[in-house]
Amino acid sequence: MSDSPSLQAKAKWLVLGLGNPGDKYASTRHNAGAWALEEISRELSVALRLRPRDEMVTAEADYVGSLVVLCFPQTFMNESGRVLAPLRKKYGSFDGSNIIVIHDELDLDAGVVRVKSGGGLAGHNGLKSIAAHFGSNDFQRIRIGIGHPGDRNKVLNWVLSPPPKEEAELIRLGAKVAKDAALSLIAQGVEKTMGEFNVRQA
């Protein structure tokens, strides 16, 4: 079933926290987006639950009068966009301006957070998959810096490795900032949020 009358009456937001499923990857840099999603679920006092049939971990919350759907795809990063089909089936379509994707970002120092609306995908395979399944790049992104190893040949091992303690603490702090940025996008919109968060750590 698609939208119920109650769902149609409410503004709907989809917040995707990207990463790879399973304990093996839980502490890796690539899972920074999933860390932020956990922060949001705690802030909104909702429990993320596994929906194995739909390959996702999800929760629903009411925030500033909007329905907020939290989702951590369990498809592995490169297939993140596959969750959009079952989400559409349950909730109906989401406007791109109301889709927030939180992800790790090699081009930012560890823990630095930036908000971006639409535009290029910077080679991020999770974003590429979402754009392919959504049919557009026009959705909101929150980028959590994980730093760069300095050599493109080391990138794969870098993103799939746990950072050292001090760096992990910075990225965890970034996940908390990303949580605040996501809630700001929902409550205040993209312009105010970018104005606040994109200068905060400059």
Distance of CA 161 to the CA centre of its chain: 19
Cβ atoms 30, 80 nearer than 8 A = no
The C-alpha torsion from 118 through 13 and 43 to 32, rounded to 10°, is -40
Task: Give the bridge partners for 123, in sequence order.
Answer: none
Q: Could you tell me which residues come within 8 angstroms of residue 135 by beta carbon, excluding any fewer than 6 positions away?
A: none
Within 13 Å and on the Cβ side, how many CA atoms surround 61?
A: 23
Q: Is 30 tagged catalytic? A: yes
Taking CA atoms, 202 is separated from 72, 112, 155, 179, in Å, by 29, 9, 25, 18
Distance of CA 110 to the CA centre of its chain: 17
Minimal CA–CA distance to 32: which of 186, 173, 180? 173
Phi, psi of 81 (to 5 degrees): -70, -15
Cβ atoms 51, 73 nearer than 8 A = no
The residues annotated as belonging to the active site are 30
